[in-house]
Structure 1
């Protein structure tokens, strides 16, 4: 392996928030480096190929650089952009969406400025942390993996979490010690506690705690749950999620109630929603109404419209639209999510909203129902050519695409653009201080 040090200047940021530098004919991507900053870059080449590159000395600071508030940054891998001013983070995300749409979809469309938060901290309503034993400090820790590794950084006060989530997380770790609940050993693949999952509502008066464990027969688990709920009354329930798989997948398929409730309740606009361990729910409570408000605005809903909510999850978007249309039909492949969606419609007395379990593509191809509008909110991997072709076949007047990954969004819009005009593109910052961005797109039939 050959090592060299080169003084050079950062040219731009890549899609992951890393600084881009050119050394001879090699493009390098450098953590914690901003455009215009000059630095010594240490590169290691193995068999003629770049193995790794990092900045070992920075000569100047960009005017856009800020001092990160978080004491764990940049070691913790949860955030990538905390050294960049929030105003510039929003500009970066707007530019990122525009450039990716051009690169992968050959679309040169106006991208509206990314909508941010007044305070880009303390926003996450869902937190999941690995639990491990700290061999140096001889105690249990919970936190986040260092970027690109499985080295766990113990985190006691994450600035992206709410104070309630941090309080619960820290108490859980101390209770694990008290009740002798052993953390999972990833390499040896033994131990009890793999992850903790904490969900809170917007008002911070309800929290659901799920322990991802390797078995359900845990001595003292009910006393553990009672003590947790007594010390933090906002915790309304404790659930075990059983995961025996030898993989990095966090949640298993089976949930076992321990004590208290298995769901918490939140509000979006004037609608109530129940949230369980397996429920998908937008993680940024302060931006949900902004995101969904844009989706509803772009859908241009009328009282005579039939709306298809594809990849509907627990029905949050469709139910927020129900008062504005003739009827809503949600389609979702996950049975637990469909069950929650039906329950959410019931508690909101929405009789014009219905949900079915099934593959959205197959449903469209087999159904003879006409839809005026389709709202689609697929997972990070995006949609499929089969689904997009099915949508084009039934030809609704409007399609609203809500995406959490602009790369897969661009790929999918490239398949839509022969039949639909991409009219509006609105990024929304659901994940401040990270490279991630949510995007709402309005598609009008040509």
Structure 2
């Protein structure tokens, strides 16, 4: 028996390794990573950065399923997951309050088969540093916004940790999590988080790591590795809300962060302003577009691409830039290994696994590449 009743009763299979001893999970992930990266002969394999086993997730993504008893938040198979042990008690209680509130309002979940109902998803994010939460309702249309808006004050009274509440419109009948339109039902529009004393901001569409404790270790490690050669110019590509770049900022170091999502860039700029950083610039651009236009040569480049990796074209551009070092943070070691094959001219100095996703086969890895 595991510590999760959903898994033990076969209601949820998301944490496929939850009944493995944690040491075994780390061993299997390490073996997988070694198999992929051993051909590149890393000089140093560092000890994995571990995670808490429960209550470590800061974000819940709930399907809003219609049932005879009312709306259920969880999986599409009418299984409630509001007591998932990956969320801490405060998130579990808030999810329970939201579910009860939605039922009282008579809100109908979206029936995929019949294409009826309004509410598709409920997304809840928590700031580890201050406990505040952001709630997003993903709707098919604008039809029930008034009902939600009229009940918001009552919901906040019941769940006072809710500080940001929004509605996202996703009208397409496809498994797409969110649409382009975001409507705020509260005056506050962002959450503040702090990693290693650095203020970071979370807005509805900005990517943010889901395991704060391990993310803190990842950012701190990248900063320490970057600082070793005292770079004057550092680029942070796929920078999100600026976590890597802000951790590497110093008074005389030039930092450029590039991210395609404008909301994430707005968050990064807010952090830089609060820290009174003068030599830090964040731009909403595609990394490939920036790569084609930039003229300066960085000493260090940090890349944190999506699961698909960098791709051959961006790897070729990085080779032309010819930075002394590249720090590559990856959530998909398979695409990382493929990119390493394309990054000829660099050797792998060190590798560290960061267990961002316990009880699953997934993990994050940080690799330092050095110009040969």
Normalised to the residue count of structure 1, the TM-score between the two structures is 0.79
| Cα-to-partner distance string for 1:86-110 (whole Å, 9 max, x where unaligned) | 11111111111111234xxx33435
- 3-state SS of paired residue (1:281): coil
The 5 Å alignment of 1:342-381 reads 342-381=269-308
Are residue 96 (structure 1) and residue 96 (structure 2) matched? no
**Number of the residue aligned with 2:49:** 115
- 3-state SS of paired residue (1:421): strand
Match of 1:80 among 6, 10, 16: 16
Q: Which runs of 4+ in 1 moved over 6 A?
A: none
Match of 2:335 among 400, 408, 420: 408
Aligned pairs, number: 368
**Number of the residue aligned with 2:74:** 143
- Judge conservation of contact 2:231–2:300 (CA < 8 Å) in 1: no
**Number of the residue aligned with 1:249:** 176
Q: Which runs of 5+ in 2 are unaligned?
A: none
Shift of 1:157: 0.8
- Judge conservation of contact 1:93–1:114 (CA < 8 Å) in 2: no
| Cα-to-partner distance string for 1:27-63 (whole Å, 9 max, x where unaligned) | xxxxxxxxxxxxxxxxxxxxxxxxxxxxxxxxxxxxx
Question: Distance in 1 between the 2:231 and 2:261 partners?
Answer: 29
**Number of the residue aligned with 2:217:** 290
**Number of the residue aligned with 1:190:** 116
Q: Which runs of 5+ in 1 are unaligned?
A: 1-66, 145-149
Shift of 1:69: 0.4
Question: Distance in 2 between the 1:339 and 1:178 partners?
Answer: 36
- Judge conservation of contact 1:311–1:377 (CA < 8 Å) in 2: yes
Question: Distance in 1 between the 2:112 and 2:118 partners?
Answer: 11
- Judge conservation of contact 1:402–1:441 (CA < 8 Å) in 2: yes
- 3-state SS of paired residue (1:203): coil
| Cα-to-partner distance string for 1:299-357 (whole Å, 9 max, x where unaligned) | 24555520000011111111111127611001111222222222221122111110112
Structure with the bigger RCO (C-alpha within 8 Å, sep 6+) is 2
| Cα-to-partner distance string for 1:242-290 (whole Å, 9 max, x where unaligned) | 1111111101111100124121111011211111111111111111221
Match of 2:134 among 203, 208, 217: 208
Q: Which structure has the highest helix share of the two?
A: 2
Q: Which structure has the highest strand share of the two?
A: 1
- 3-state SS of paired residue (1:440): strand
CA RMSD, Structure 1 to Structure 2 (Å): 1.7
Match of 2:5 among 64, 71, 80: 71
**Number of the residue aligned with 2:97:** 171
- 3-state SS of paired residue (2:211): coil
**Number of the residue aligned with 2:352:** 426
Question: Distance in 2 between the 1:216 and 1:238 partners?
Answer: 15
Normalised to the residue count of structure 2, the TM-score between the two structures is 0.94
**Number of the residue aligned with 1:27:** none
- 3-state SS of paired residue (2:18): coil
- Judge conservation of contact 2:129–2:194 (CA < 8 Å) in 1: no
Question: Distance in 2 between the 1:290 and 1:213 partners?
Answer: 36
The 5 Å alignment of 1:250-399 reads 250-323=177-250, 326-399=253-326
**Number of the residue aligned with 1:444:** 370
Larger Rg: 1
